[in-house]
Structures are given as structure tokens and as C-alpha cells.
Chains A and B, each alone.
Chain A
Amino acid sequence: MIQNLLRVEKYFDSPTEKLQVMRETLNQASGDLILKAHKPHISVRNLNVYLAKKHILKNVSLDIPDKAITCIIGPSGCGKTTLLKTFNRLLQNSVDVKIEGDVLVDGENIHGKEVEVESIRKKMGLLSQRPCPLPMSIYDNIAYGPRIHGIRRKKTLNLMVEKYLREAGLWDEVKDRLKSPATSLSIGQQQRLCLARGLAVKPEIILGDEATSALDPISSKKIEELFVKLRDQYSIVLVTHTLRQARRIADYVIFMYLGEVIEAAPASEIFSNPKEKLTKEYLDGYFS
């Protein structure tokens, strides 16, 4: 399919013609229906990532549908975190990284020369495994993002803090103690605070790296419900080890194994009828 699309790029010059053929190609592939309704928000083409000379991501090509929940599953060490960090260019901070291939966000190559790394990161809210509040008050945690992007007016900030705390379902729990340290919150609350903090920079994409794995079942369920609530407004990419969670909330699933994408398909399809043997074995719990 991807090859087809790439071919389309080459053979047709007029954009409308190209679009037409692309639509048809997409229609043919039933498994990619979802990518038709939700055109790709992030597209990865032939991505190779080397960390400390080790080949971590191997020729990865995939599409992340817009305004849907994509779950990335796969055994530990297969490169899920690395993939997420490539999306918002956090990887380049660490040692000895080599990145080849293209990552397109809204059609724009994030490794392009003119691209400002901050503007790429601003597009994506990141939720890490363990919640990581900034060493400041609850209020300042939410206001941190808006402030660095130039919002200074107290009134605007107040409104934003309230809005995003509400969006993350935390407002009622913290409205009386906005000035207390973020660390005084419970772990589950901290994770929702981090989500609110991410939303406050108005991202288009939410990246979650096992965002619920450190939480108790109830907090974890709350975060999950939030993702479901937010999926109409954001493209959500979640790395998860809990297959049951993926079954519950995923629209689209990407299965990775040893740095390669083995299968990417709509959730209904991959769970009921995986095409690859490896996927089936993983889903059946032969290995994890």
C-alpha cells in the first residue's frame, strides 16, 4: 500500500489527479479504511534509528491516523519508546544518535532544516510512564507551557489553567489548592496534571508512553476515559503493554517486534484476524 502511494507520488503530476488515484488506492485496501476517514497525521517513511551504533528501528514505515487512538504494542525493548521520542525529536538529546528516513507531521518533515524543534514539540503533548510534574505549584505547572509561548496576562492564564484542569478531570480535586506543590498530589492526580499541562500548549497530538502503567487501576481507568474523550480533538498515540487496554480503546494498532513494524491495522481487524503469524502469537500471549 505504502509502495503504491509512493508510486503515485512519482507518476502523477497534477495534484487533483494524484489525490484521486490515492483515494482509489486507499479504497482498495480495506485494512486502511481508517486512514481514509482519518488521513495520516504522522507519516513515517523508511525510518532507521541507530543508538550508540546499534540498529534500533529498522526501516519503519507507518501512518498515524488523525483524531483517533493508535496503540503501539510489542515486547519490551522492541523500540516503542524510541519511536515515540523520534516523533517529537527528544531522541537527539541523548548520546550518539543517527536517524535516517522521514517523519512527516502534517506533511512536513520534522527533520527539515528550517523546522524549529520547539514548534514540533509544541504540537505533541508527551505523557511519560511515571508522571513527572515540574518542581512548582499545580498552577505553575499548567501555566508553564503557555508562559513560555508568550502568554503573560494573569487573567488569560487563570482561564487556561481552569480549562485544562477541567479537561483532564482534575479541577474539582485541586481548585482549592492551586498554589500547593504539584508533588503533593497523588500519583494518579499527577499524571492527570501532566496531561493537563500538555494540553495547555494546544497540541494536536498526544503521545503516551505506557502512561497508565505506574498508576492504580482507578487512576488508570480515569486516564483511559480521558483519552477516549479526547480522541475527537487529538491524534493520540499510546505505547502500551496492556493488551486489554489496547482492545478497549484503540482504533488503530501497530505491532512492533525487534525494531520492525510487523503489522499495522485497525483495532477490530488486528484483534479478530491478525494477518501475521507473529502478531497472532503475541496477541495469544506466546511471548511478551
Chain B
Amino acid sequence: MRHIRIKRIEEKIFKGLMIVATLAIVVSLFLIIVAIVRRGLPVMSWDMISKIPTGGFYLGKEGGLLNAIVGSLYIVVGSISLGLFFSLPIVLYINLYLPEKSRLAQFTRLSFDVLFGIPSIVYGAFGFTIMVYLGIRTSLLAGILTVTMLIIPILIRSIDEVIRRVPKEMKDAALSLGATRSEIIKPILRQVAPGIVTAILLSVGRGIGDAASVLFTAGYTDSIPTSLSQPVATLPLAIFFQLSSPIAEVQDRAYAAALILTVIVLILSIAARFYSRKFSKNKI
């Protein structure tokens, strides 16, 4: 009897803790969103998302943030594509071609764990050093490359985790039909497709919101770049620059930029969830 009662109390305590933790997170998120909406929404207008800045934009005059919106999307799309192009082969190689418990695989995982933890400003500084060395100026390409380096550890480690969890029986089943190692990639990717979507989403979140990595590498400009060698504006930098302005109107526009950034991430998350559900239809 008594130990049952103790168990009940334990149960209650843990339940309470969970509720408190969840509430704390939800409430602080909500407060952030409220702050962004409260200051950003009043200055939101169609112009804000459809026009590039005019001459006096940073003094509170006409114009919008289209340059930063498009720039951020360029950077994110470019670096996710490039990132997947490099990380998928790496992950497939360490999981399918290296023997189980291979030293090289363990070492690779450890390396990416370390890279994962490096702050983005270091990537920015590293990119900048190389650019100086090669004599390249800030550009869309340099921005994409730096953000790619920033997100590759996330992509690799999260895709690696899901591929490692693919049941061995499934691989054996495909192999025993006479499939080669490269032919079992297709069923494996189908199995982990929802995991890859999550990995991409995490990387988008980190890549699109990061200011430090693009500060020295992508630069900033009021126009939309038409080639990879031109500098490009990004939303996090738009927030950063406008927030440091003494003019209240301009500061509010920083919140508008933050609002746009949040909405983009929200739309992408919803789309990702939708696709992830579609992909997991066949998952075993």
C-alpha cells in the first residue's frame, strides 16, 4: 500500500515538472513572438516585402526588405543544396561502405561533432580569411560557401543518426535479393526521407537565421544580386543593422524583418511536416 502511494506521489511530481518545463518554453516563445509582432506588425506593409530599399530607407523613408528576403532565400537554397551534395555521400559512405565500428567512421563522426559546436562567427572569420587570401570580395558565393560549412555538420550528424537506425534486416533483405551496395541506397533513403527532411529543416533554421557567418562573407547591399560574385543582403543582417539605428521607425523595421524571418521559418516547417508525412507513408 505505502509504496504504491509513494509511487503515485512520484508520478505527480514528475508530471508537474514536465508541465512546468513545457509551460516555461511555450511562454517564453510566445513572449518573443509577441514582442516581434507588437513592434514589427505596425510597420509591416506590402512594400516591406515587395520593394528593395530606396535611398532614405534607413532613415525611415520608402522602400522594403525584398533584397534581404531574396538574399536569405538564395543563401539558404544554395547552401542546403550544396550541403546535401556533400553530406549525403559522406554519410552513405561511412554507413554502407565502411565496416561496422570502423575507426575512420568513428573519427569522422567525432570530427563533425566538434565542427557542430563551433560558433558561426568562427566560420565567418575562416571564410573571410580565405577570401582575403584569394583576393575575393564579399559575395553571394562566399556567403553560400560559408553557410554550407556551417550547416554541413548538422546535416551529416542528423542524417547519420537516422541512417544508423535503419534496421540491419532491411539492408540484408535488399542485399539478399542480389542488390549491390549502391542499389540498397534507394530503399534506405526512402526509409530515412522523413529524417532527412528534419535535418534540412534544422539546417535551414540555423542557416537562415545566422548573422555572424554572412557578416564578412556575403556582405550587404540594397539590390538583389544577379550573379554569384555580387554581395547579397540577408535578413539577420537587416535586423542587426536596423536595430543599431537610433531612429525608432528604423528599429521597428528590424522587428518587421524578424517577423518576416519567423514567418518564412514557420512556412518552411509546415511544408516540411507535410512532406515528411507524405514520405513516411512507406516507412517500416
Task: Name A's B-contacting residues (CB within 8 A).
Answer: 88, 90, 93-95, 118-119, 121-122, 124-126, 128, 130, 132-137, 144-145, 148-149, 181-183, 194, 197-198, 201
Quick check: A182 and B175 within 8 Å, CB to CB?
no
Quick check: A95 and B100 within 8 Å, CB to CB?
yes
Complex CA distance for A118 and B101, rounded to whole angstroms: 24
Which of A95, A128, A183 lies in contact with B282, CB distance below 8 A? A183
B283: chain A residues at CB < 8 Å are 135, 181, 183
Complex CA distance for A137 and B177, rounded to whole angstroms: 17
Complex CA distance for A44 and B108, rounded to whole angstroms: 40
Quick check: A121 and B176 within 8 Å, CB to CB?
yes
Quick check: B178 and A134 within 8 Å, CB to CB?
no
A119: chain B residues at CB < 8 Å are 178
Complex CA distance for A181 and B187, rounded to whole angstroms: 13
Given contacts A130-B169, A134-B187, A135-B187, contact A90 B175 (CB under 8 A): yes
B171: chain A residues at CB < 8 Å are 93
Complex CA distance for A183 and B280, rounded to whole angstroms: 11
Given contacts A118-B180, A121-B176, A121-B178, contact A132 B167 (CB under 8 A): yes
B284: chain A residues at CB < 8 Å are 132-135, 182-183
Complex CA distance for A124 and B172, rounded to whole angstroms: 12
A128: chain B residues at CB < 8 Å are 169, 172-173
Residue of chain B at shortest CB distance from A122: B178
B180: chain A residues at CB < 8 Å are 118, 148
Complex CA distance for A194 and B178, rounded to whole angstroms: 14
A-B pairs with beta carbons under 8 Å apart, 29 shown: A88-B176, A90-B175, A93-B172, A93-B175, A95-B100, A118-B179, A118-B180, A121-B175, A121-B176, A122-B177, A122-B178, A124-B176, A126-B172, A132-B284, A134-B187, A135-B187, A135-B190, A135-B191, A136-B187, A136-B282, A144-B174, A144-B179, A148-B177, A148-B183, A181-B283, A182-B282, A183-B282, A197-B173, A198-B176
A148: chain B residues at CB < 8 Å are 177-180, 183
Complex CA distance for A197 and B187, rounded to whole angstroms: 14
Which of B99, B175, B176, B179 lies in contact with A95, CB distance below 8 A? B99
| Majority secondary structure, A binding face | mixed
Q: Give B74 Cβ to nearest chain A Cβ, in Å.
A: 34
- Which of B167, B179, B281 has the most C-beta atoms of chain A within 10 angstroms of its own C-beta? B179
Assess whether B170 is interfacial by the CB under 8 Å rule. Answer: yes
Complex CA distance for A48 and B15, rounded to whole angstroms: 55
Q: Give A185 Cβ to nearest chain B Cβ, in Å.
A: 11
Quick check: A134 and B174 within 8 Å, CB to CB?
yes
Complex CA distance for A90 and B170, rounded to whole angstroms: 12
Which of B100, B169, B175, B282 lies in contact with A137, CB distance below 8 A? B282
B179: chain A residues at CB < 8 Å are 118, 144, 148
Which of B169, B177, B281 lies in contact with A198, CB distance below 8 A? B177
Q: Give 15 A-B pairs besides A144-B174, A183-B282, A198-B177 with Cβ atoms closer than 8 angstroms.
A: A88-B176, A90-B172, A93-B175, A126-B176, A132-B167, A132-B172, A134-B173, A134-B174, A135-B191, A148-B177, A148-B179, A182-B284, A183-B283, A197-B177, A201-B178
Complex CA distance for A94 and B282, rounded to whole angstroms: 27
Quick check: B173 and A194 within 8 Å, CB to CB?
yes
As a 0/1 sequence over residues 172 to 199 of chain B, the CB contacts with chain A under 8 angstroms (1 = contact) are 1111111110010001001100000000
Complex CA distance for A125 and B171, rounded to whole angstroms: 14
Complex CA distance for A152 and B37, rounded to whole angstroms: 55
Complex CA distance for A2 and B56, rounded to whole angstroms: 96
Residue of chain A at shortest CB distance from B183: A148
Within 8 A of A (CB), among B219-235: none
Complex CA distance for A94 and B172, rounded to whole angstroms: 11
Quick check: A145 and B178 within 8 Å, CB to CB?
yes
Complex CA distance for A130 and B175, rounded to whole angstroms: 16
Residue of chain B at shortest CB distance from A90: B172
Complex CA distance for A119 and B101, rounded to whole angstroms: 27
Complex CA distance for A90 and B283, rounded to whole angstroms: 23
Quick check: B282 and A144 within 8 Å, CB to CB?
no
